[in-house]
Amino acid sequence: MTALTDSEAENMEQKVALITGASSGIGKSTAERLAHAGVRVALAARREDELKKLADRIDSEGGDALVVPTDVTDRNDVQETVDKIEDSFGRLDILINSAGMMVLDQVQEANMNEFQRMVDVNVIGLMEVTQAVLPIMQRQESGHIVNISSLAGRKSFPGASGYSASKYAVNGFSDALREEFTGEETEYIRVTDIEPGFVETELSEGLPPEWMETLDPDDVARSIRYAVSQPAHVDVNEILLRPTQMEL
């Protein structure tokens, strides 16, 4: 396991992170990585049983985890989650927006209801959670939003029209948000896009074998930990990482 430098470890101490999509894949690995670094973690997703298993493991290893079952497309749910975190931990420093889904289909054959659902989770849900945490970060005068975009948010390919559209949207949202918080009074909120190529998770199950040169979820989690452990004056804007052998 790669160790943090002393100053990186200091930058993480006492922090609180909300991680959406924490029941599997990248969100789950990130929760574990951050908890190991001393961050208190609030675990959000719909599958409460999976979140509880993860929280028990984190707690048994000396971490501090809070289970907050949440559907990111439900505005009331999202607000309740943020309120619960503030009640339990009294602050919120890091948001990892990892909840997401992928529907791959050629435009001509695509089921637009499925595309709608994907955009609701990947884009609108991500924006809802971000908006809900901002008042706390503004009060604290510090905060870090990490959006899990994708290589597909930088480059598209046949069959990925809907998914890519959702991830290009995430990148656009992140850029605008960063600029909204750039200025003498408000330069304390950082925004990072993480753009992985294929990662072996539930989301990538069933992809054609020729695409399946993959990253491990923990490879992505380490890149997130790097971004959030930098000193306050360093805003890592984006990290694009792909499997070395990936052809796309």
Catalytic residues: 163
User: What distance in Å separates the CA atoms of residue 18 and residue 145, rounded to the nearest whole number?
Assistant: 10
Mapped onto helix, strand or coil, the DSSP state of residue 42 is strand
Interface with ligand NAP (CB under 6 A), residue from 82, 99, 133, 134: 99
Packed helices 126-140 and 161-180: angle between N→C axes, nearest 10 degrees: 20
DSSP string covering 13-39, please?
TT-EEEEETTTSHHHHHHHHHHHHTT-
Interface with ligand NAP (CB under 6 A), residue from 41, 72, 123, 134: 72
Stretch that binds ligand NAP, among 2-10, 81-89, 132-140, 200-208 (CB under 6 A): 200-208
Q: Applying CB under 6 A, does 43 fall inside the site for ligand NAP? A: no
**Cβ–Cβ < 8 Å for 45, 99:** yes
Mapped onto helix, strand or coil, the DSSP state of residue 65 is strand
Q: Residue 130 is encoded by which pair of tokens? A: 């971000």
User: What distance in Å separates the CA atoms of residue 6 and residue 45, rounded to the nearest whole number?
Assistant: 32
Nearer Cβ to ligand NAP (201/229): 201
Interface with ligand NAP (CB under 6 A), residue from 12, 19, 26, 34: 26
Interface with ligand NAP (CB under 6 A), residue from 15, 16, 27, 32: 27
**Cβ–Cβ < 8 Å for 81, 44:** yes
Q: Applying CB under 6 A, does 174 fall inside the site for ligand NAP? A: no
Stretch that binds ligand NAP, among 23-31, 35-43, 53-61, 138-146 (CB under 6 A): 23-31
Stretch that binds ligand NAP, among 6-14, 45-53, 176-184, 236-244 (CB under 6 A): 45-53
Residues contributing to the site for ligand NAP (CB under 6 A): 20-21, 23-27, 45-47, 50, 70-73, 98-102, 121, 125, 148, 150, 196, 198-199, 201-204
